[in-house]
């Protein structure tokens, strides 16, 4: 099966560096699928869950915004924050979601509303990635 190198990097660490056969991320205009030999591309990513396919396995991660670049030799994602599904603290993400929703409800047009909306998106991305992992705990056969 054709593969390409995928690197996912944050300011803090290299989160992922492996050969994969597909990645599906949330670009600013919607979901974006990258397969081997994709044309060069640079796009912004919004916060969301990210799916990676390796052979018959699927892996999920949460991305908190960033950039995706398709280069001839590899695909690089520079993320503001990124966690593999098994690193996600679900209780913390639930708390963050609750906090963001309360802020948005208390002052929907207030100065904190945009930040709360961004925090809500991050928490939902984490919850979604963790949930997808739970639903598919074993490699596909
Ligand atoms: P919180 O309010 O819980 O801190 P946040 O969305 O503000 O959430 P970020 O600023 O995006 O957090 O991330 C700060 C650091 O904490 C990053 O290294 C990120 O990977 C990590 N992180 C945030 N939330 C979680 C989580 N639920 N599980 C694991 N790591 C997390």
Whole-number pLDDT of residue 127: 97
Radius of gyration of the chain (CA): 16
57 Cα to the center of ligand 1, angstroms:
26
CB 23 within 8 A of CB 29: no
Rounded to 5 degrees, φ, ψ at 26 are -100, 100
Domain boundaries, the chain: 4-85, 88-135
Atom of ligand 1 nearest to the CA of 82: 20
Verify whether ligand 1 is closer than 6 Å to residue 105 (CB atom).
no
Verify whether ligand 1 is closer than 6 Å to residue 98 (CB atom).
no
Verify whether ligand 1 is closer than 6 Å to residue 64 (CB atom).
yes
Which of 92, 112, 127 has the most ligand 1 atoms within 8 A of CB, as the residue to mutate?
A: 92
- Which residues lie closer than 8 Å to 5 by C-beta, 6 or more apart? 17, 18, 19, 20, 73, 74, 75
Q: Would you say residue 129 has pLDDT above 50? A: yes
Residue range 76-128, pLDDT digits in tens: 999 999 999 999 999 999 999 999 999 999 877 877 889 999 999 999 999 99
For the entire predicted model, the pTM comes to: 0.93
Domain 4-85 CATH class label: mainly beta
Q: Would you say residue 141 has pLDDT above 60? A: no
Under DSSP, is residue 30 helix (H, G, I), strand (E, B) or coil? Answer: strand
């Amino acid at each position: 099966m054709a593969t390409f190198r995928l690197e996912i990097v944050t300011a803090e660490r290299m989160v992922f560096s492996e050969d994969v056969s597909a990645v599906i991320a949330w670009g600013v205009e919607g979901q974006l699928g990258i397969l081997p030999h994709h044309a060069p591309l640079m796009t912004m990513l919004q916060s969301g869950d990210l799916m990676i396919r390796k052979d018959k396995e699927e892996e999920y991660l949460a991305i908190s915004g960033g950039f995706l670049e398709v280069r001839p030799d590899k695909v690089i994602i520079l993320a503001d924050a990124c966690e593999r599904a098994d690193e996600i603290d679900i209780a913390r993400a639930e708390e963050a979601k609750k906090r963001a929703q309360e802020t948005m409800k208390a002052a929907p047009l207030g100065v904190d509303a945009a930040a709360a909306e961004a925090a809500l998106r991050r928490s939902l991305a984490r919850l979604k990635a963790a949930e997808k992992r739970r639903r598919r705990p074993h490699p596909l056969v």
